[in-house]
A and B are shown apart, each in its own frame.
Chain A
């Protein structure tokens, strides 16, 4: 392959294949990273991106092996002994992991994590010198209060923990840093800060960076080159700008299209059908063939090679030259703007009225989750409730379905006082349960693992005072959420995240509610699946005239789905208005900060489309 080209190549990966026993996890992969360069490895869950990164850093879990070669300035890394790795790790190759809450040792003070790394350096044998260095390093990642070094991880926020982790992975000034989803678990505004710190540290050191992410916007905004991984195969490599403005592979194109835009509302998101296969199942063919609109016989005959089609641009698509025009046209078409949202008549009677509710969680430290929040939702209206973790947005949603009881204030649903479900007449309570339903965030525990899909839906139907043929109705519900009747026999463990979330939606729909409270319904899903589910919500809105309360931290999701937006910050509504108005002309400083923290890559994507 012609990938290992220039002499400035710093890290060269040649035919690196990860497998577990006879199970293929990634197919042979080759790429290179130059000194000081930033490479993004983009892929959905199951693409093998994390294990590829771990293979490079020699951190594969037991039983998983890597074949092929990883060369750091000509020195072979794959197969090094643990002792040799110890000399390299931290100093030359360093890794930053995803979850800030489990990454730090809970019984070690924050500063100790850095101290441990510096200890071996003869320059810092002296305890005082080491302490001074720890403080200097913390300042580098934006922690100016040296007392933080004495805190335990549980006393730190996610952003703080991630800073400490970043400082310790940079402590020995590595020449290449592999960051595996370093900001995914953090709030949007914190995400932006961490990425800035990472960028700055990289520039100061001339360090190379491999950023593993599922977030295309992030990849395009900070990386020089992007490598797209799908089901264990590299499908495309190219410069961020080129790939963002005109992808060569149908999968990259689909991924870009299914990413909701934060700046404009489209009529319908382009969703790729189906789900990511396991690498093992698509070894002898184009990995994307089963989901591709342009698939031909030869795509399935053998695995296509990664070929250079333009300077520095590689794709594994056999048909790229013929379909490039279609791919570009599709991207133009997808940007067709949805009709403007009609303003609601001012005298409309709201279906839901929340009036100055507060919620106080008593405990060792009293938490004021909601401090007098008022809100209304008209029939058929979608309201986006935006805020970061700790803003009280989930608490508000739970109050609406009676999972929490507000401390003070009023909730009125269809004229019924619903602030305390327990105190209601049984008839009224049953009526409310059928009127408002909720869809939860985590698709993996939203369904009872011991119940089949059919049993879950049947239970819900019975609550909705259903009479008639249960099986027929279950089949109809499943069709409505885009699944087939066969799913009734399946159990949650057999389903993907997107499918589970659809079942959870069907369960809520079974009682024919008029308001659906959706608490981060797509945040745990892959981009392509996220687009499918968002489209489903759009369809349900039209077909059933449902009202929605979308609780989310993702402004792009709100832009696509909500009519009106309510911004919640530390338990208070700080801004409210139509989506266009709030997102285009934010008034409150917090909203401004929120909007500023969206990675700017959409410029690439849309800039090109506007040409």
Chain B
């Protein structure tokens, strides 16, 4: 026997009940993400200085009352650059996670629901992609094409598709033998409609949870490319870029130049991971 539980299936009420029972850590994660989003949106208004304003006369400086986090070698304000960096830290990973899942959902649905040679074709491609050292490929491709933020985003997006396809396919395979799908089939409902109206709503929670987790991975990967000089244009305020530009200041000069963007990155990634895990546990597991 299962324990009697309050029967409450109304989606809105269910969601609000779950939200009310959110653990503190997840609540903190939501706060972190909200702060980062606000930084990204409101950067021009809340950043004290122009992020690319160079003050060579100031040069490297430690925190002071005027420059709260100090400056880098070119005299640029670390705080302003960190705040402005939030936008590239959010937009790229969001596009990667959502885009990769959009493609993976289509591939996963086709592979999982139709089966047969379509499944074989898609999954062998996935296996092939998994066989490649993806990070290395990304570095080579971006290096050859010539870098740039959106090229890096596009390449990472494609690199994320294979594993996402596997996730979607397995979720579809779980729903497919359920009687409600059989019932729809025996009513003669068309395949596209079964996929769209019956299967997608039931695998959506899994997708949403994994988008959050993918976001965290994309953030770290994209910052890694920027660190190597393959992501954003030189000079752009970007956390990964700042890490590489200011790495010489870590032991002398202004350590905050690397510590602040690094912490921002780690906090955002961990927060998104926590949120993804929590979504997964609450709405699927």
Partners in one complex: yes
B80-129 contacts to A (CB < 8 Å): none
Whether B4 contacts A279 by the Cβ 8 Å rule is yes
Binds A, one of B180-188, B220-228, B244-252: B180-188
Contacts of B185 in A (CB 8 A): 402-403
Mask: chain B, 183-195; 1 = CB below 8 Å from A; 0 = not: 1111111000000
Complex Cα gap A398–B4 (Å): 34
Whether A445 contacts B178 by the Cβ 8 Å rule is yes
Whether B187 contacts A511 by the Cβ 8 Å rule is yes
Whether B186 contacts A433 by the Cβ 8 Å rule is yes
Whether B4 contacts A46 by the Cβ 8 Å rule is yes
Q: A49-B1, A50-B1, A494-B7 are in contact. Are A463 and B178 (CB under 8 A)?
A: no
Contacts of B170 in A (CB 8 A): none
Interface residues on B, range: 20 to 34
Whether B183 contacts A429 by the Cβ 8 Å rule is no
> Shortest distance in angstroms between B196's beta carbon and chain A's nearest beta carbon?
12
Confirm or deny: A196 has a beta carbon within 8 angstroms of a beta carbon on chain B.
no
Complex Cα gap A19–B41 (Å): 51
Q: A51-B1, A491-B10, A493-B9 are in contact. Are A463 and B180 (CB under 8 A)?
A: no
A432-466 contacts to B (CB < 8 Å): 433, 436-438, 440-442, 445-451, 459-460, 463
Contacts of A49 in B (CB 8 A): 1
Contacts of A447 in B (CB 8 A): 180
Whether B3 contacts A440 by the Cβ 8 Å rule is no
A94-110 contacts to B (CB < 8 Å): none
Whether B188 contacts A48 by the Cβ 8 Å rule is no
B134-149 contacts to A (CB < 8 Å): none
Whether B188 contacts A433 by the Cβ 8 Å rule is yes
Whether A448 contacts B180 by the Cβ 8 Å rule is yes
Whether B1 contacts A48 by the Cβ 8 Å rule is yes
Contacts of B1 in A (CB 8 A): 45-46, 48-51
Whether A450 contacts B201 by the Cβ 8 Å rule is yes
Q: A50-B1, A450-B202 are in contact. Are A433 and B187 (CB under 8 A)?
A: yes
Complex Cα gap A214–B154 (Å): 59
A147-205 contacts to B (CB < 8 Å): none
> Shortest distance in angstroms between B237's beta carbon and chain A's nearest beta carbon?
43
Whether B179 contacts A460 by the Cβ 8 Å rule is no
> Shortest distance in angstroms between B213's beta carbon and chain A's nearest beta carbon?
22
Confirm or deny: A492 has a beta carbon within 8 angstroms of a beta carbon on chain B.
yes
Interface residues on A, range: 35 or more
Whether A459 contacts B186 by the Cβ 8 Å rule is no
Confirm or deny: A255 has a beta carbon within 8 angstroms of a beta carbon on chain B.
no
Whether A440 contacts B183 by the Cβ 8 Å rule is yes
Interface centre among A25, A440, A442 (most CB of B within 10 A): A440
Whether A440 contacts B189 by the Cβ 8 Å rule is no
Instruction: Give A54's nearest chain B residue, CB to CB.
Output: B1
Contacts of A491 in B (CB 8 A): 9-11
Instruction: Give B9's nearest chain A residue, CB to CB.
Output: A493
Whether A463 contacts B189 by the Cβ 8 Å rule is yes
Mask: chain A, 396-414; 1 = CB below 8 Å from B; 0 = not: 0010011100000000000
Whether A445 contacts B180 by the Cβ 8 Å rule is yes
Residues of B that sit less than 8 Å from A by CB: 1, 3-4, 7-11, 178-180, 182-189, 197-198, 201-202
Q: List 18 A-B contacts (CB under 8 A).
A: A23-B4, A51-B1, A280-B4, A398-B182, A401-B186, A403-B186, A437-B187, A438-B186, A445-B179, A448-B184, A450-B202, A451-B198, A451-B201, A490-B9, A491-B11, A493-B8, A507-B183, A511-B187
Residues of A that sit less than 8 Å from B by CB: 20, 23, 25, 45-46, 48-51, 61, 64, 278-280, 398, 401-403, 429-430, 433, 436-438, 440-442, 445-451, 459-460, 463, 490-494, 504, 507-508, 511
Q: Beyond A440-B179, A463-B187, A493-B8, list 13 extra A-B contacts (CB 8 Å).
A: A20-B3, A25-B3, A45-B1, A61-B3, A402-B185, A403-B185, A403-B186, A433-B188, A445-B179, A445-B180, A493-B7, A494-B8, A511-B187
Q: Considering the complex of A and B, which 8 residue pairs feature the smallest CB-CB distances, nearest first? A: A493-B9, A433-B188, A440-B179, A450-B201, A50-B1, A401-B186, A491-B9, A446-B179
